[in-house]
Every structure is written in structure tokens, then in C-alpha cells.
A and B are shown apart, each in its own frame.
Chain A
């Protein structure tokens, strides 16, 4: 078995032990975290701070008849109770979502999902606030809910959004990509067609830290400081200015240390707004931190796509076309977070890694009586659903053709010489070498030996499965002429200052939730200007301290902000050349760069280090015409295209024939994210995503009963993998740089979450082949696997 050693010396660094730029170095943020000195939102205590708690609806769909808050107000320690009626007076009862819809901050007319916000109690401490929730009396007139998206468009279905003028059904949008006529023509004449309804069920990112905020409104200046769990502080500032009417220059958003995000902390939730209202109303800082059930039941869910998928091929296994009709459950408010032009996100990359003749997809979005959201959980704007669809269909095709699924993929990959490759829905894939990654992954797995072992086990009645998935992502959104969120172009800024003594500070617009930005971005600067990473501070998460940008989600930090940082460092390096020339009394064109130093061509002993140049720039050196003092620069990076990371994953499972329990025995992941900045951090990102894949494929499910009750509202019911459910990951890599990115990097944060679920489900279905099983919907729980083995219908959980 080949195992890639992520500890190996980094050839790019020149020094295995102390790389100055790219390479494996320890994280700069770790010393505070291992000492318990991180600073998360709930750690913040301001003088006079009050605590807020939200009363939530116990039912999914109901008219609000009355609310009596008098007993709650009389409870010791309670300072205020805010209801929807109070917010109507402030014109804050409804707030815009990230998808041109509105969302209720507190219910005024009708409850639309279980767990929806009904009232907000503000008290002297968190216990008093929770006590008072019990004292609020609410009268609900319960209505029939719309729970199953399949029934949402049926005639006579209850209308979830009857408050919207002219709204008589639950239809939100239809969206298409590709060419329907061409695709249908190929399907009509194809040798082989495989069709399957494939459900990507509702799940939740469930970061360890739930969402929360501390709002501090200062009435004399009219200034708001809001500490919140935000992956996108600058976008939040703009939105808060629009919603609240507080001028944007009077708003400071601080996103401190974030205990995991995974897309859960992109949206603006009612709790944040209520904390702000509470601070304005009481004149004191107000903290709101949700509990785990509130997090799982009300904040941004993920997926919930019902996909009718079809694949057409020749009988010898040439894939010709793909088509799909998708029913997208968006919940009670259309609050998905994705670029405006793309209501189904980037789902139209469902053509995957294959060279097709035609493709077409249609997505229909509907309202239901469930929590709003839909784009979250490391999904790269719905690439997760797209990859799952195509990789399941390819495996089903292999099964039907009785071909090896690796062989079928290898036969149909886009070839290296075809890049840049434009697919049938309009994406321009930047670079790739899919066969190389696939073959490396098969070599690491010992693929042929595994197939032999499987055959021997099958002969003995043992259930072993081998599953493959090959994914191509589209990340790093995105070119601002095509991509915006609520009108804000998806560009990111960076500012770099070199202090007189040669130490540096780089300010970025993206926000780490654990990805290690303080290390990675310091390494990018180090690589470009030769100052060691420990001498470079990375400032992020505070809108008063950083340039504008759209934040961290969709694996966009390195592709967009990383490019901004590389370019700002190059700008500083170029300025440093002119200053060095002045200091050396020579011409700039006579200087050459080596990492950390400009020197005279032909005389390497004569030169100036960055530290010397920095002192010169701030000192008394006579600077050339057009070069001002100091050593700093700023840029805003507007990406010319997205980046297209890819990977080849192989999963080996053993299924207990007596219980249906699936054990993931091995998982081999080969990833290509282009240029690798810190292999240790990359490996960590991959490991986390693979674990998400195990959760999604085998355990995690946000399900609802017929009354709209959430059945996944706690960690007792929403099962997250522990160390016992996951194997020791085997990771490898290839490097195919992005040709359009300044450092060739493509992003890695979501690759494994996107790529791993189909490998696991394909492995489970492969194990169950002796039972004639061709497809199973996630999660493959023991009950469902057992039912599949018996040929029974799938149980709900």
C-alpha cells in the first residue's frame, strides 16, 4: 500500500525544517487555542450585558392568535420581551434574505416552520431569560402543513407564503441549463439508458459552536458594534445597514474566533437582528447564543434535493448524455445563499468529469413548512448534489453494462489535452488530469487486490463493497460580472503593510472558521516577499480593520482572497525594487529578486533585504519620482474564472449481513487542489470533509413527520460520526495548477464533503449487489440496509 507522507519535506520550501513560504509549518493560531485562550462569541462579556432567549413555535404551520407576555415581563430579572407586533412598529418584522425573498424575524401573522422565532426575552442572566420563555402564553390555530416537497405543487396544497401578494401556490422558481432538445434526441437513440430517482436528503452543518451574537449599540454616536458568528462580516455589515437603517459607517461587525462554520454562518438569522434590536431598546449590550436544538431546527439546513436522473450511453460504455429534473425544497422562506443568477447554485456542473455530447437540467424550487436555507454544509453552492447525482448514475450504468466502474470512468474522462474544457452547460474547466489522479488512487488502494478479495468474500457470503467517486468542483466564486450576492460582487480585497523593521501585517476580507487563514495567508505573503510567516500578522474578521470582501464559503478563500494576497505582495515587492535601487544608487532594471532580497545583477553580494528596504522606505532615502514613502499596497481581486479542483476517492466497506451495519474499513482520497500552500492544513481539510461524507452517507438526517415535527433536532437524533465510525484516512495528491490563478491554487475546503458521499454509497450498493440492489438513498442506516437486503421499501430513518 502506498501512503502519502504529508510530513515529507516540502520541495518548494528549500528547507524541510523551516520553510519560508509554502510547506508544512505549524499553525500560527494554535498556541491560543491549545491554551483555551480562543475568543469565541459566547466568551465575550461586556459591561452591563443582558442575555436574550428566543421563544420558538412548537408547531410547523399555524395562525398566531394571541401572545400574552405579561407573566414573562413580571419574572425577576427580565428587562424586556419583544414580539412580532413590536417589530412591525419598528419596520423590522421582516428582513430580506440572500435570495430576493423576505424572512420573518418574529412571527406576526402565521408560523411557517417548527422552531420559528415567536418572541424574544431579554434578561439579566441566561437562566432568567430561559425561565421567562416558559411564562409566555401563545395561542396557535394549527393549520395543515406542507411537509413533502412532492406534494407542495399539488392543487389545493396549503399555501405557505399566503402573505405575499398574489401568491396562490408554493412555487418559487424554475431554472434550466444545457440544451433539452439535443439531450432528448441523444436519449431517444441511445443503446442504454439508466434512470433513477436520487434523493439527497436534508442535513445540517452542525458546527460545534452554535450561532450567536453580542450587540452593542451606542446611542450618542448612533454606532453599532456587533460581535457575531459570521463567515462574511463585510456582507453582513452592508445587509445590517440596509435592514436597520443604521448608516454603514456606523456599523462595525466583528467575527472573532469561529467554532466551525461549514456554511451555517453565512446567513443572517433572526437571533442576530433581535440582539441588535434588544440593545437599541434596552440601551445595554445584549448577547444571544442559540442552543443545539435551535441550531439544528432553525438555522440554515443543507441539500434537500429530489433528483430524477438519467444517463445515456452506448453499449460499450461511452457516456453520451445526462439529464435531470430536480425538485428543490427551500423551506418556508427562500433564504439560500448563492450568487443571484444561480437559484440552484452551481448544480449545473452535474456533467461531472466526463466528456459528454449533451446535458440538460431543470430545477424547480418550492416552499414547504420547514426551516429555510438550503445552501450550506460545505456544498460549494450545490456541487455536492451534482456530484452525487452523476457519480451514482455512472455507477448504476457500470452495473447495468457489467463493466468495472473504474474502467467506465477512465473511458469517459475529459482528457488533459482538452483543457480548458467547456462543458455542455457552459462551465469552462480550467485544468485537470483526471486519469492520473484516478490511477494514483487505484494504486494506493490496491484496487485489483481489493476486487479479488471481494470475489473471495462473496463466495463465502460475506458482504464487502468497493465504491469509487470522481469529482470535479467549481469553486472560488466568482467573476463579479456574473456573480453577486444581494448585489455585492464576489471580489475580495487585501492590504499589506511592511513595518520599518521588516515585520508585516496583511489584512484580508475572508474569515476563518478553523481553516487556518492566519497561517496560510502568512505563507502566501512569505512565499512572495521572503519575510518568514512568523513575522507576518494576518488580520481578519473585523470590518473596521480589513478591506471589503465577500467572505469565506464555497471554498473561495484561497482562490479569491489568496489571489488578492499574492498580488498585493507582488505589488509591494515591485515597489521595494524601486526603493532598493534608490538605496543602492542603481537602476531598478539592474536588480534581480531572490526570496527576501533585491540584488545587483552580476554582483549578488550587493543587495538589500526586505527589512533593509522597509527601513529605507520609511526613512530618509531619496525616493525616485513617482514612488511615495512607506512600503504598503492594496488590491481588490476579481477572479477571471472559477477554479476546478478534482479528486479520485475509493471507499471500502464491510456490511454485517446479520444487522445491516456498514463499517467503512478504508478510504483512499487523492485530491488535486492545484498549488499546495500548507500540506498539513490541506490534509486536515480533506480529513474533515471525508468525515462529513461518512456522516451524510450513513448517519445524518434531518427528517420530519407528517405534522412537520423535526425528527433531527438534537445530537441524540442527528447522528454525527465519532472517532469510532471513521477509519484512518489515506490521502494522496496530484498537482495541476490553475492556469488563471496567480499562484495556481484551486481551493480544498469542500472537496471531500462534496466527493466522499457517492464513494460510500457506491460501496454500500456494491456490497449489496448479491441482493440485486442497484440504488439506496442516504443515509444508509442499518435499518435501511437491512430493508434493502430483504427487498423491502426504505424505512424513513
Chain B
């Protein structure tokens, strides 16, 4: 069947079987591989995309059901070459390790911040509670979303010049320290 939708602001029309899942349509037909697949049971949320601004698990939506709707994937988060504050926040606060759950987490965070620009920790945890991360233990994801909340108009800045020779050498081989 013919399926039409808006993906990351672009109108597309493609042929696909009626049974094709949205996650496979995005990955295999549109070749946008930032959206991942992670389970068979709608538990892990690594496939989350935004449909008309709301997070959906694209493994639980048929591509045909998205016909006529607007889909945002991770590839659509950055605009005009500038990262979304959520993307920058995940880098600033180490909200990712292997990166596999990250696209889904970031899209849920974007939807949360669109509805609630200043969520508290509990609200962030609840928002991402339908998604699993095996690497981070979630605390840094919460911090990442908070970072984005605190930097809504973040723009990537140029990095300053770096003078290596100005820095002292340190011998770590005999270091002993205790944090307190």
C-alpha cells in the first residue's frame, strides 16, 4: 500500500506492506537508522519517535497508522546545523554510554520539555519510565534533561585555541588521595 507522512519536516510517500511496523519503515525503507529496535514486547522504548509531537514506540505502531501524521526521529532533533539542547545536555552530563537507547530517551525528553519546560527529577524519571537503559543507571539521563531545561536556547560555541605546553606535567604513579 502507499503510505504518506511527514518525517523530520519532509513529506514522503513510499510503498510498504500493510503489516510493516513503523520502526522497520523508518529504518529499512527510509534508511534512518538512528531509531533502534530492542525488544519484541514494547518494553524497552529504544524505538521511541515523536508522532505529532507525542512519544510513541514505533515497534507498536504500523507504518500505515502513521499515514498522514508528522514523525520526528533523532535525525530531526538538530535544526539548521544546531543541536537541540537535549542533545547537548546528553553530551554535557554523560547521559549516554553505548548510545543505543539514547535516541528514544532524547525524543521523550524533548516531548517532556515541550509540555513542561522545568520538570523536577521525579517528573523526568516518570517520563522515561517506559524506556530501558542498561548502561547509565538513569541518574545522568535525569541530569542531561535538567541541563537542557536550564539551557533552552543553547547554541554550540566555537572551541577556544589550546596551548598544550602551558600545562604542567603530573606523575600519577605515586598519587594517593582521598576525596571528602
Contacts and interface: CB of A to CB of B under 8 A. Distances in A.
Interface of A: 2, 4, 11-15, 18, 20-22, 26-27, 29-40, 42-43, 45, 125-127, 205-210, 257-260, 262, 291-293, 436, 440, 513-516, 527, 530-532, 534, 593-597, 609-610, 675, 680-681, 683-684, 686-692, 714-716, 720, 722-724, 726, 728-729, 732-737, 742-744
B20 A29 contact: no
Contacts, number: 253
A735 B134 contact: no
Contacts of B175: 12, 675, 735, 737, 744
B20 A127 contact: yes
Nearest to A592: B169
B128 A514 contact: no
A691 B99 contact: no
A271 B51 CA distance: 35
13 contacts: A14-B167, A14-B170, A33-B96, A43-B33, A45-B31, A260-B97, A436-B178, A514-B99, A530-B169, A684-B97, A715-B41, A715-B132, A722-B129
A722 B132 contact: yes
B40 A208 contact: no
A687 B102 contact: no
Given A516-B97, A732-B179, A34 B168 contact: no
B179 A734 contact: yes
Given A595-B170, A720-B132, 7 more contacts: A35-B74, A208-B100, A683-B140, A687-B138, A688-B97, A690-B137, A715-B39
B87 interface: yes
Interface in B134-180: 134-142, 159-160, 162, 164-165, 167-170, 172-180
B129 to A, nearest CB: 5
Give the interface size bracket for B toward A: 35 or more
Contacts of A728: 121, 139, 142
B91 A26 contact: yes
Contact of B136 (A31, A530, A684): A684
A687 B33 contact: no
B164 A531 contact: yes
Contacts of B3: none
Contact of A596 (B74, B78, B167, B180): B167
Contact of B172 (A680, A715, A733, A744): A744
A34 B180 contact: no
A656 B99 CA distance: 36
A715 B42 CA distance: 9
A688 B44 CA distance: 16
Contact of B174 (A257, A258, A737): A737
Contact of B134 (A40, A45, A292, A688): A688
B52 interface: no
B180 to A, nearest CB: 7
B118 interface: no
B94 interface: yes
A686 B74 CA distance: 27
A208 B134 contact: yes
B103 A36 contact: yes
Nearest to A730: B139
A260 B100 contact: yes
Contacts of B44: 208, 292, 715
A743 B87 contact: no
Interface string B91-131: 11010111111110010000000000000010011101111
A-B residue pairs, 9 tightest by C-beta:
A36-B34, A514-B98, A259-B100, A687-B137, A33-B99, A36-B74, A715-B43, A514-B97, A596-B164
Name the residue in B75, B98, B132, B178 with the highest tally of chain A Cβ atoms < 10 Å from its Cβ.
B98
Contacts of A27: 91, 94
Given A724-B129, A734-B179, A35 B142 contact: no
Nearest to A743: B172
A729 B167 CA distance: 33
Contact of B139 (A38, A513, A687, A689): A687
A34 B44 CA distance: 18
A691 B36 contact: no
Contacts of A687: 136-140
Interface in B2-50: 17, 19-20, 24, 27-28, 31-41, 43-44, 46
Nearest to A672: B178
B83 interface: yes
Contacts of B129: 722-724
A38 B99 contact: yes
A425 B73 CA distance: 54
Contacts of B141: 723
A257 B164 CA distance: 31
A36 B73 contact: yes
B167 A20 contact: yes
A729 B138 CA distance: 9
B173 A737 contact: yes
Contacts of A516: 97
B90 A30 contact: yes
B40 A35 contact: no
A42 B126 contact: no
B158 to A, nearest CB: 13
Contacts of A610: 164
Contact of A515 (B97, B106, B177, B179): B97
Contacts of B37: 42
Interface string B52-79: 0000000000000000000001110110
A21 B170 contact: yes
A4 B179 contact: yes
Contacts of A527: 170, 172
A691 B172 contact: no
B97 to A, nearest CB: 4
Contact of A724 (B43, B126, B160): B126
A773 B132 CA distance: 33
A622 B50 CA distance: 63
A35 B75 contact: yes
B179 to A, nearest CB: 5
B165 A597 contact: yes
Contacts of B170: 12-14, 21-22, 527, 595
B131 A722 contact: yes
Contacts of A729: 137, 139
Nearest to B177: A735
A737 B178 CA distance: 12
Contact of A723 (B75, B125, B174, B177): B125
Contacts of B137: 684, 686-691, 726, 729
A262 B90 CA distance: 22
Nearest to B126: A724
Nearest to B125: A723
Nearest to A693: B137
B167 to A, nearest CB: 4
A737 B19 contact: no
A209 B140 contact: no
Nearest to A718: B43
Given A34-B106, A292-B39, A735 B178 contact: yes
B101 A208 contact: yes
Nearest to B169: A595
Nearest to B17: A127
